[in-house]
Structure 1
Amino acid sequence: MARLEVDSLTKSYGGVRALSETSFEVHAGEVFGFVGSNGSGKTTTMRILLGVLEPDSGEVRWEGSPLDREVRRRIGYMPEERGLYPRMKVGDQLAYLARLYGLDTAAARDAVEQWTARLGLSERVGDEVQKLSLGNQQRVQLAAALMHAPDILVLDEPFSGLDPVAVELMSQVLREEAARGVPVLFSSHQLDLVERLCDRVGIIKNGRMVASGTLDQLRRTEHPQWIIDGPSSAGWLNGVDGVQVLETDGARTTVEVRRAGAEQQVLQAAMAAGPVREFAPARPSLTDLYRDVVSTDDGQEGEQ
């Protein structure tokens, strides 16, 4: 199956290491969320994908071969900073960009009609970009990335500045592109959105990929956590070895189990102390996982 491979990318700016042996894959038909703090290396990685920057070492491959100019022409890219001509009309600009990607006049006109309709911009085709709201400018930027039916989509903070309706529309479009077999890579600080939309997630910190996988894979820990909604009396866990109480909120207690099988003793102790309304494994959100991964400050972050 076709896939985009980022293999051991390293990049320095002077004495600052922006990327260090960064590796991950985005499979065909997959939405991959690329998250990290400002300066963690996300944009540097994307610029290397596009050929704007050269890595000091490492390689990017598509279908097993290094990315060349021809493959990069088939990438749809949406930058964080809007790269549009502010005084140019929306339709003219999109047609112009489509022609740069190799579409003839008729195909470019059809693509403009298709994507302005899909993204709710049909009534804005004759407007100058600078007269649009920031959200509509973001839609135009996405349309520009899709004009040539790309084989790969790379989007840097595509949801920035969008209202909830536009966020839902853009989410639908990205899922439709993935269903078409396109690998979709996007960065975002909106972790709740990443959690809802993505098949897999990569967390980058200080230029290193520190976690990557599905949310279920990222949630796996050596010491699982359990939530008990039951006895409110203090001390009901006394005598249960291998268990640490992480949080107590009234009758709701979260514990970390450090010994195999101890969760059953926790349940028995809770039932002995009173009625149990809930006993379930804790499922941390992506925000919780991200906070845990990046909480330790182990050095100066590289430039983005």
Structure 2
Amino acid sequence: MLELRDVSRRFGDHVAVDQVSFSVPDGAMTGFVGGNGAGKTTTMRMIMGVLAQHGGQIDWQGRAITTTDRRSFGYMPEERGLYPKQPILDQLIYLARLRGLSAQDAASRSTQLLERFDLGGRTGDKLESLSLGNQQRVQIIAALVADPTMLVLDEPFSGLDPAAVDSMAALLREFTGSGVPVLFSSHQLDLVERLCDRLVILSHGRVLAEGTADDLRATETVRHRLVLGGDAGWLRDARGVRVIDIEGNTAVLQLDSPDQADAVLREAMARGSVLEFGPIRPSLADIYRDVTAATTQTQQEVPA
């Protein structure tokens, strides 16, 4: 397991990462989400030793992480670092050999992964001759080629078509299935929600929330959707009901207490037909908006 405890990083007077703490358990896929400038890339660079931390501790398997540990990690940086004028297979073999694979194993593993990403017929092509999406696939392969003990991937799904996303997701699941922890960042919240076992939400260099999707949903205020056969405007005057949104016959409600649901349903049925009534399962996008909005409001309320 990878664990960060109160990790910080400054650039001059700017605190880019502010006492960040979270864990990436073995065999779990952890999504790292946040807006531009939230500190995700800086945090990943500190995990990989590209940047030094100015405070806190990074542990691997229960002890302080070492350079040797990091050499066994697969890393996909924000700035893609492959050679545009070199044949794809040659540079993958070169990178795999730098990570300790024999020439034979490096060639076999590289070829296998290229074929899996539908690039088996392009092994002799220069990287620059590929589309941006296929260049992204090769960059991903470079992170995976040496059977890493952990994966740290910065926006690995950017630029991939749906088929490549599915292939990549299946491959990452093979790694987590063998116990490898995976940390990846993404702005595609629906994709993170679909793939991840755990989530870390970062904003302005701080962790706002961490846990499984169900853990984070449990912290959300429960809302209900009510769809009627007629107009729903009468709900604005209903007791114990806060109307979040009404559009025609559909209303989104927040109730003062769980018992209030029965009273609302009885009143609705007395007024006509009820087509739908039940709690809304918040998406990761809903959770992210609520968490970051609450933090922004708190910051605005603090006197200068």
Aligned residue in 1 for 2:251: 253
Higher normalized contact order (CA 8 Å, seq sep 6+, divided by chain length): 1
Could you say which residue in structure 1 is the equivalent of 2:72?
74
For the residues of structure 2 that align with 1:169 and 1:32, how far apart are their CA atoms? 18
CA positional deviation for 1:260: 4.0
* Post-superposition offset of 1:270: 1.5
Deviates more, 1:217-226 or 1:92-101: 217-226
Match of 1:161 in 2: 159
Unaligned runs of 5+ in 2: none
State how far apart, in whole Å, the 2-side matches of 1:113 and 1:222 are.
Answer: 46
Q: Residues 139, 272 of structure 1: CA spacing in aligned structure 2 closer, same or farther, 3 A cutoff?
A: same
Whether contact under 8 Å (1:225, 1:257) holds in the other structure is: yes
Residue 84 of structure 1: which of 73, 77, 82 is its match?
82
- Residues 133-212 of structure 1: pairs in structure 2 closer than 5 A: 133-212=131-210
Computed over aligned residues only, the root mean square deviation of the Cα atoms, in angstroms, reads 1.7
Contact 2:229–2:275, Cα closer than 8 Å, also in 1: no
Contact 2:230-2:273 within 8 A present in 1 as well: no
Q: 1:69 to 1:221 in 2, by over 3 A?
A: closer
SS at match of 1:182: coil
Cα distance, 1:223 vs structure 2: 3.4
Secondary structure of the 1:237 match is: helix
Say if 2:59 is the partner of 1:61. yes
Paired residues in the alignment total 298
Residues 206-225 of structure 1 mapped to structure 2, 5 A cutoff = 206-221=204-219, 223-225=221-223
Percent of pairs with identical residues: 50
Structure 1 residue 63, shift from structure 2 partner: 1.1
Aligned equivalents of 1:158, 1:299: Cα separation in 2:
32
Pairwise CA distance, 1:108? 1.0
Compare 216-225 and 59-68 and name the one that shifted more. Answer: 216-225
Higher helix share: 2
Determine the structure 2 residue equivalent to 1:42. Answer: 40
CA separation of 1:209/1:255 partners in 2, compared to 1, >3 Å: closer, same or farther? same
Q: If the length of structure 1 is used for normalisation, what is the TM-score?
A: 0.93
Q: CA deviation at 1:299?
A: 6.1
Q: Which residue of 2 aligns with 1:115?
A: 113
**In structure 2, what residue type is equivalent to 1:91?**
L
Aligned equivalents of 1:119 and 1:233: distance in 2? 52
Name stretches of at least 5 consecutive residues in structure 1 with no aligned partner: none
Larger mean Cα displacement after TM superposition, 27-36 or 260-269: 260-269
* CA distance in 2: counterparts of 1:230 and 1:252, whole angstroms: 6
Kindly state the Cα deviation for residue 184 of structure 1 after the two structures are TM-superposed.
0.8
CA separation in 2, counterparts of 1:7 and 1:291? 25
Task: Check if 1:266 corresponds to 2:261.
Answer: no
